Amino acid sequence: LIGLLTLVSLIIIPVYIFLKHPTNYVVQVLMATFIFGILCMLTDGSKILVHPHALWLCFWLPYWGLFIQNLKLQSPEKFVALP
């Protein structure tokens, strides 16, 4: 039950970010890859935290990408473009 609640809380945050910025192309792509990561995780969810491999990237990379994109959209002046 605790694991299920943790998983649901991890999924709610990106959904909230997507609903907050539904027209942003980067958010749309990251949400699609996050959904793909969730589907991959459903096949082998026991290794998502224990043994990082390609499944780890399919789930966590879009997750943190959505989080960072949300921060960037909230305060763009804090992010400087690289030359």
Per-residue pLDDT tens digits for 2-32: 777 887 888 888 888 888 888 888 888 888 8
Residue 1 CA to residue 47 CA, distance in Å, equals: 18
Q: How confident is the model at residue 47 (pLDDT cuts 50, 70, 90)?
A: low
Mean pLDDT of the chain: 78
Res 51: pLDDT: 62
CA–CA separation, 23 and 60 (whole Å): 22
Is 31:14 a contact under the CB 8 Å cutoff?
yes
Whether this model's pTM surpasses 0.75: no
Contact 10, 31 (CB under 8 A): no
